[in-house]
Structure 1
Amino acid sequence: MKGTDHSGTHTDATDNLKEELEKLKERLVKAEKQKDELLLSKLSADRERDEAQDELGKLMDLEVEQYKENLVIKENQERHLNTVKQQNIELQREIQKLQDDLAAKGSEVSQDFWIKRDIPKKKMKFTGMENAGNEETFLNTCCLYHIAAKIPFSLQQRQALLTFEEEDVAQKLIRRGKHTVSLDNGKIDLTAMPVTLETGVKFELHVTISGEEINVSDIPDIQIPDEWIRDKLELNFYKSKQGGGEVKNVSYDRRSHTATITFLRPGVADNFMRCTTHPFCINEKRFMLSVSPSIEKHLEKFQIFSGISKRTLLLSGTHEVEEDEESMQDMIEIHFQKPSNDGGEIESIKYVATGTKLAYFEEDTETVA
């Protein structure tokens, strides 16, 4: 019978316990270490949280301050905008007032340069020929007028105008100023003054009468398309018994009831100038159109001039006298023709006893009406 060795088993159990104990210690050390790391992490997280809360608080405070500043800025901008709007309204009123004043003054200024002169009828005579520069010039009738408007001067009651043949005579008498003229019943003192003229104008008027176009007016207002009216006008003037021809173009304006007809063949336009009206049938109705030449007018070399007449003087200062107008004019003329009175040859003289008369001056010669 064999015996059992219990000491070996006990030893193995003790070793196992020791191993377990060592493992537990290691685990405990690890756990403590993890705990310390967690504590450190928590402390770091708390610190970061506190810093974040502080930063958030600062940002919130900054946002509140920024909001308040924005409110102040917005209020200031609104006040400034209202001020600017008010200033703009006042400026617009002022601009409108200035524009009205400028328009009124411009109208006044423009009226100073308005020209209204009746050009008298004159006989025309042939003076020469020029070679046509191109076909268009040959087809058209071109006229050139040189116009110089006479300058009116208002001669008042008991005033006289004297125009001398020599400029020096008039200027000497003006420099002398006072003159005593002997009359049948006494003497009168006269003052010689220069004649300041109003504004005068000169220009060239160029007139071109087209040999290819005519103007048509009084076109009836019929509710059909414009293209149809153009076609009917073209057909009408193409087949006209007045000497129509092929039409190159029709320019029609419904608003003004007018049209411009351009013919392809030269000379056709002249055929319609013999009569100022032309029949026009449309929609079984007959109308009469007004026909006129196509005329282009423009000004060139327009000049405005003013100044003082060098050979003419104005006499004033006469009081009421017994002599009639013709006698008074004769005595003035006799006095100022004498060289002893610094006078000279008089080209024209006009004395006005009562009322007002107009004297007209031209650029080179001066005449009295």
Structure 2
Amino acid sequence: MSSDEPSEETLQSINALINIYKKKHDQLILEQEELATCRNQQQDMNEQFKQRSIKLTQKMKEDQRSYKTQIENEKDKLKRVRQEEKELMEQIQKVEEAVKEEEAQTHYLKQQNDVFSAVPERNVVFTGLTGKDTDGQAFDMEPHLVYPMDGGTALITFEEEVVANNILKMKKHQVKLGQDISITVEARQVYLMLPTLVEIDSKVSSQHILISNLPKMDTDPMLNKLEIHFSKSKHGGGEVEKCEMLPDSGTVALSFVRNDIAKCLIEEEYHEVKLQEKMHRVRVTPFLNGKITNLKTTMKACRRTLLLTGIAPVMEQETLQDVLEIHFQKSSHGGGEVEAFLYNPLGQHTSAVFQKAPKNEDKKTE
């Protein structure tokens, strides 16, 4: 065997290396196939993730739109609920106000019922004629006006309105008191403030009572007996503040210091009181307080009554009054028949009371 030829051992070792590298190659090929498979799987997974991501993005956008729509709907619902709540609160407030008004009206009607059902009894005889409802007439309030007069003035009322107008037009008048004595008086219009509307709110007093069904006897002893009786706690009374007879009514008004006495006495209504040495059954009813809540007035000129001013006290009051009245009765002075004359000298205080007379005539009294 030549020395240039490889030895058997060398060939074996080469074959062995070839086999080793072949195995490595096969291993690498296998690994490459596995890597390719993994790569394909990764690509598939990536594609799946990509598709899923696209779907999730779309779903998320759809959910966002849906949530936005739901939020808008909920906002609208909340707005409607708040509006309904506001309307309900307004209705509740109106109902509460109506309930309060009804309670106040009920309380007022109860008071009125207590008053009208417990007014002092008086015998009334009807002497008129019966008729239809349409035949009735409304009640009018007659004015009773106090007119304060300054000193050195006089009020004169003529029977005819035309005479008063003539005197008023002449304004200043020279009145002769004697041959060389005269005074100058001025005629002025008299204006009165007349009520056109009067509204009165009435309620039952918690400290007063009215006592009626009383016997005829002297006023002072009766008031003393009533005060003694109703001041005792065994009779349901208490400390009395005031006891007085009401003019032209036949009833006594009694007031207590405490405000819880009157109600109990009114509820019992009838009481046995010793008057004129014997027991007498009197009636206790509510005392009504009145308060003007609405008053409307208007200024009105008197048509037949004038005010004379500038009257100096140069003679006796009665004589001067007669001279003035005689002067204004004479037609030569523009006067006429005098119905009433009231003179107030300087330094004195006098008031005239004007009342509505028949046919709208002016009437004055001292």
- Provide TM-score, normalisation by structure 1: 0.43
- Provide TM-score, normalisation by structure 2: 0.43
